[in-house]
Structure 1
Amino acid sequence: MESVQTQIQNKDGNQNIAQQEQPYDGFLYTWGMNSGGCLANQKKNKERLFLLNLSTGGFFGAAISSKNELYTWGETKNGRNGHQPNQNFILVPQKIINLQNISQVSCGNWHCLALNNQNQLYVTGHNKYGSCGLSGIDEIYGFKLNDTISDIQIQSISAGDGFSLYLDINKSVYSSGFRLMHGNKEDQHQYQIKKIKELEGIAIKHINSGFCHAAVVTQEGGELYTWGSGNFYQLGHGNTKSLKTPQKINNLSGIEQVSCSRGEKNCHTIATHSNGSVYSWGSGYKGKLGHQNSWSHEDPADESRPRLIQYLQDKGITITKSISGGIHSAVLSKDGKLFTFGCCSDGRLGHTKAEKRVYLYKEALPREIQGPFLNNKIIDASSSYYFMAAIAES
């Protein structure tokens, strides 16, 4: 049976949300700027998939099926989606033939990481700075086993822009890649996967790589460590100082999960507390921190330290996952509803744009997406700078 796709069009004619039907209970939705086929919404896919989780990167995406097979789509440049660059774009999700038993996938801006159920790491894409943890090769076209870390049992992966983070079964954090982002003091690119020395002896439960900053959450107490560029207060330490090594954010604990923004400018961070509340900080560009501040270019409403999103608290909305885009944000509630806020240009919020307000349209408070999956529980969601994707039950 062929998959069924539905296009929701705005008044300006641009695509906003595309639905691809899946068997059993799963639906894949994408919305935002459709560059390089990143929305994967061409009506040519004859294979029906039930997707479990997904990741979005620089104009490409990836998802894992119920059979633990990896599918990717979008731009092939630099080998980022794991398909050979004999065509510029993959317009519908295509299976990576040589990979099996995949349990996790993480899309960076120019590279992609995949982990199988035997803790083996596969890498593809741009590796000039060592983001894939291999030396002597700038581009990797097709997923390649990183066999340099046979002594490390990785259980979690996170791909950023030119760097990557890895969490092993002993709760230790490793990294590779760009010199200002790998978290170690050495002022040079890190072409091999190495332990972050500043975090030695600290058990970590969650890692996240953004475009130009990173964060980890401790196992005990849910404390948060950040490093990288601090130009927009995104590190949460009360200043715009950049840090080469992880530093703990004072007076913040109980965090379960964190998400660092996917853009080079107007950076922010958003984190989920164990009680279901959400904190955000950094650039307040177009209301993407969710505090309903009166944003303007003259007064950007930045937050230099973590601030509770009071609106979600007042509404009694319990959040399980926070998601940072580039100039927008999203949160996924316990009951499977997806809320977005910030800049809505290119349809990235998934809300119908008001006429004649295409670029200026923004949401200063978290707003539930009212669309084709209104009555379907969202089981996972992800965002890159320009587009978002979600998997919903039918």
Structure 2
Amino acid sequence: MAEHGGTPTPSDEEQVWSWGAGTDGQLGTAKLQDEHLPKLLSLTSLPSISMLACGGAHVIALTSGGKVMTWGRGNAGQLGHGDILNTCLPKLVSFFDDYVITQATAGWSHSGFVSESGRLFTCGNGSFGQLGHGDNMSLTTPAKVSYFVNNSVKMVACGMRHSLVLLTGNQVYGFGSDKRGQLGVSSDRTKSVNLPCVISGFEDVEVVRISANRDHSAAISANGQLFSWGRGFCGGPDIQTPQCLPSSLSFREVVLGWNHALLLTVDGEVFKLGNTLNKQSEKQQLQVDSCEPLLEKVPDFDGVRVLQIAAGAEHSAAVTESGEVKTWGWGEHGQLGLGNTNDLTNPQLVSLGSVDLRMKEIEVYCGSGFTYAVKRK
């Protein structure tokens, strides 16, 4: 694209595919339509990327040099371009020209960015205080969250109407809607908070990862424990403060959907809480009746080590040690990448063409009804 003059071209080894819901431009194909099979993107306007974040209908890409590109739905300013326009091709966020951004997250209609120096920036819909600026204003250009100017932010996670922040000093903060207890700071179910509030319960816990989606929040500790709070899974009760899942397993990653959580153990096994298809099994009904969370192993990965997991609103994806991408869950927009719109309860292999996956790094990312896969050297 002309406005990206001077942008470096990516390595010939890097490839990016997208599929699923695309009517807001979130697939980066320049076509406003759903795609039921993976589409290999032209990377002439997309430099070599270090990570992606997929939200309600927008995408954030960080380049290997710490620059930011966004595309997709921009109706609330979540793309950070100073307007409320959709963008169907990756576009540099000029606000960050003088910053190096190391981590980013995409919520339903807001975005968060962490700089190399530990500063936090947010933009997009702020009607529930989810931008953390002390008001309920929406912003079309990223703004520094002044509350953390004397702290170093390590990570940010955005849900539908709330945000979580992990500080380098190990404290976890929340702001935005707390209607379902997703901030872990209030007993008033209708309350929202527009300034960061520290989340209690982690005083003696070293938190290494945080995750948010819809009205759910979760964290992983250094010793592999899962903590969750907010909306209960499968119709269970809301959790007002972080609760540790009783399990002998050691987890290293958690990702959240609208009604489910995926968990990856240090041994490469995948487990789930809840259900992507909103259909309760007999076991899950017992969970609701007993108010106990039910942890289930995801089928079809026996004997296969999984390296990475991702969750969209109601679908899931995983990358195996052999470089295979598998998807399952809701398929209405083709987000499973299998050439149809069927729902699936068991993981199925996604074909990325004739690409040689040996000795390559594959990562998968899920938004609300769409999916991305990135292959690097």
Note the alpha carbon deviations across 1:30-65, whole angstroms, 9 max, x for none: xxxxxxxxxxxxxxxxxxxxxxxxxxxxxxxxxx99
Partner amino acid, structure 2, of 1:199: F
Deviation of the 1:74 alpha carbon? 1.3
How do residues 340-379 of structure 1 correspond to structure 2 at under 5 angstroms? 340-343=272-275, 345=277, 364-371=293-300, 373-379=301-307
Partners of 2:11 and 2:48 within 8 A in 1 = no
Note the alpha carbon deviations across 1:291-339, whole angstroms, 9 max, x for none: xxxx6xxxx42221111101x2xx2x11111121111112111111110
Q: Return the match for 2:134 from 161, 180, 185.
A: 185
Aligned to 2:238: 302
**Residue 89 (structure 2) pairs with residue 142 (structure 1):** yes
Say which is worse superposed, 127-136 or 224-233, in terms of deviation. Answer: 127-136
**Residue 192 (structure 2) pairs with residue 256 (structure 1):** no
Partners of 2:284 and 2:294 within 8 A in 1 = no
Aligned to 2:30: 84
C-alpha separation in 2, matches of 1:362 and 1:344: 16
Deviation of the 1:88 alpha carbon? 3.3
Partner amino acid, structure 1, of 2:297: E
How do residues 313-392 of structure 1 correspond to structure 2 at under 5 angstroms? 315=248, 317-343=249-275, 345=277, 364-371=293-300, 373-392=301-320
Deviation of the 1:187 alpha carbon? 3.1
TM-score normalised over the length of structure 2: 0.74
Deviation of the 1:75 alpha carbon? 1.5
Deviation of the 1:148 alpha carbon? 2.5
Partners of 1:206 and 1:256 within 8 A in 2 = no
Partner amino acid, structure 2, of 1:278: L
Partner amino acid, structure 2, of 1:381: I
Aligned to 1:119: 66
SS at match of 1:150: helix
Aligned to 2:158: 209
Q: Return the match for 1:153 from 97, 100, 121.
A: 100
Aligned to 1:165: 112
**Residue 191 (structure 2) pairs with residue 244 (structure 1):** no
C-alpha separation in 2, matches of 1:73 and 1:344: 18
Partner amino acid, structure 1, of 2:304: N
TM-score normalised over the length of structure 1: 0.71
Structure 2: tracts of 5 or more residues without a match: 1-9, 323-377
Structure 1: tracts of 5 or more residues without a match: 1-63, 287-294, 348-352
C-alpha separation in 2, matches of 1:330 and 1:66: 33
Judged with a 3 Å threshold, the aligned counterparts in structure 2 of structure 1 residues 182 and 274 are, in CA distance, closer, same or farther, namely same
